[in-house]
Chains A and B, each alone.
Chain A
Amino acid sequence: MTEASLIDELPGELLMWVLIISELLVFGAGLIAFMGVRLTDPAGFAEAQSHLYRTGAALNTAVLVTSGYLAAQALRWRRIARRGAARLALIAAAALGVVFLIIKGAEYAGKAAQGITYETHPFFLFYYLLTGFHAAHVLAGVGILLLVAWRDDPRNIEAGAQFWHMVDLVWIMLFPVIYLLG
């Protein structure tokens, strides 16, 4: 099999896959750095982690995988010419993205009320950096989902959904490392 044909096997646009791989590498490096710094103060990291709102984060996992499902269904429906259903699914996926951000915002507000900032402990520096950067991607993803719901060419929807699944994928690895591995 030639290299060109292997690249052709990728669904959708090649540039979207370059973006997906780049983002996974960036977040992956951030998480490895987080675990590396944890070695300098495991007890402090465990104590800091106990202040996190795990239930909300777990709920957000369900919210994102459901939103991803709707985005994937939208592409499937658009391809079989169920245009209205596809648009509704994209709007619902975007709405769940907003739900994710509301839960995340409540979590940040809770930390602020406790006086916890990025300076409180190195754990929280990584926590705010990684979850904040991810939340920025969610915000961008919501806009992209709404954009492709409007300009609903199947190729647009595929690219938008792929971006959204990348956001989903990052959260699936970020959640256990930041919230659970104490």
Chain B
Amino acid sequence: MPATSSFPKYSRRRLPNALTRAWVTLLALSVASALLTVLPIPSTLLGGGILILALAKCRIILARYLDLAASPGWLRGFTMVMTGFALIIFALYLI
């Protein structure tokens, strides 16, 4: 028996689900990254901004695409490791 067979059809057709919102946000963040590269801003800000946007995209993929939103401990752990990675990259970028 389908899990949502008792739900009215309109409930899943009219409201964008979390997955669709995640996809739209990912596209918006990608556009923001592209816009950032054409702005006349210092390279430190540019590098930091690009990495922060990339981290945000990673977190969305982990939470929504890979469904870690249902496992907050794992999502937190992955986010911490990815943030540590981005900080190493940023530090190497600044040297």
Binding between chains A and B: yes
Per DSSP, are chain B's interface residues mostly helix, strand or loop, or mixed? helix
Query: Are B61 and A62 in contact, CB atoms less than 8 angstroms apart?
Result: no
Which residues of the other chain, A, contact B19 by a CB distance below 8 angstroms? Answer: 69, 72-73, 76
Counting chain A residues whose Cβ lies within 8 A of the other chain, the interface size class is 35 or more
Query: Are A35 and B93 in contact, CB atoms less than 8 angstroms apart?
Result: yes
Query: Are A79 and B22 in contact, CB atoms less than 8 angstroms apart?
Result: no
| Count of B interface residues, CB-CB < 8 Å | 41
Query: Are A80 and B95 in contact, CB atoms less than 8 angstroms apart?
Result: no
Choose one: A1, A31, A72, A175; the contact of B65 (CB below 8 Å).
A72
Query: Are B33 and A180 in contact, CB atoms less than 8 angstroms apart?
Result: yes
Query: Are A173 and B58 in contact, CB atoms less than 8 angstroms apart?
Result: yes
Give Cα A10 to B20, complex, Å: 22
Query: Are A172 and B54 in contact, CB atoms less than 8 angstroms apart?
Result: yes
Query: Are A9 and B65 in contact, CB atoms less than 8 angstroms apart?
Result: no
Query: Are B89 and A181 in contact, CB atoms less than 8 angstroms apart?
Result: yes
A28-B85, A168-B65 as given contacts; A66 in contact with B73, CB under 8 Å: no
Chain B residues with a Cβ under 8 A of chain A: 2-5, 17, 19-20, 22-23, 26-27, 30, 33-34, 37, 47, 50-51, 53-54, 57-58, 61-62, 64-68, 70-71, 73-74, 82, 85-86, 88-89, 92-93, 95
Chain A residues with a Cβ under 8 A of chain B: 1, 6, 9-12, 20, 28, 31-32, 35-36, 38-39, 54, 58, 61-62, 65-66, 68-69, 71-73, 76, 79-81, 161-162, 165, 168-169, 172-173, 175-177, 180-181
